[in-house]
Amino acid sequence: MIFLIGFFEDEVKLIRDAFNGVPVYEIPSYCRDWVLSEVVEKANSLEGSGNWHERKFFLMHDLSNDEVKEALRKMKSLGFRGVIYATTTPTSLTMKLDELIEEWLEEDAYFRQLRRMKRGPYLNIRGSG
């Protein structure tokens, strides 16, 4: 299963077409205070757009490591950038969606900063001379 937040209607259609055979659901804003396991359990009955957050989230549930790698390749080939990717875990399934979104945003900011630091530029603190 794949869950989407923050994607426009045409983007959702593009993703659904690309992931033919894999259920793709949008998570509407009314699910923000739900525990993630409840969102997963009620996936078939979710109604409404998932385009309520300024960031895009692509949540994978019950996919193997190979399926996750393939999903990431597909999303990259579709041209999506700046998407926050996550997979469900036993711990995340017990947390509220709002809490998870905050955690994913913090992790994303941390990894973006880490990539920037690896790229440089680096300051020469010792000075030259």
pLDDT digits (tens, 9 = 90+) for 46-89: 999 999 999 999 999 999 999 999 999 999 999 998 999 999 99
The per-residue pLDDT for 113 is 86
Residue 120 in this model has a pLDDT that exceeds 90: no
53 CB-contact burial (10 Å; exposed 0-12 / middle 13-18 / buried 19+) = middle
Residue % of the chain over a pLDDT of 90? 83
pLDDT beyond 80 at 125 = no
Q: What is the pLDDT of residue 35?
A: 98
For residue 122, is pLDDT > 80? no
What is the pLDDT confidence band of residue 111, given thresholds at 50, 70 and 90? confident
The answer on pLDDT for 124 being more than 90 is no
Looking up tokens 């957050």 gives: 53
0.95 surpassed by pTM: no
CB contact set of 48 (below 8 Å; sequence gap of 6+): 26, 28, 29, 30
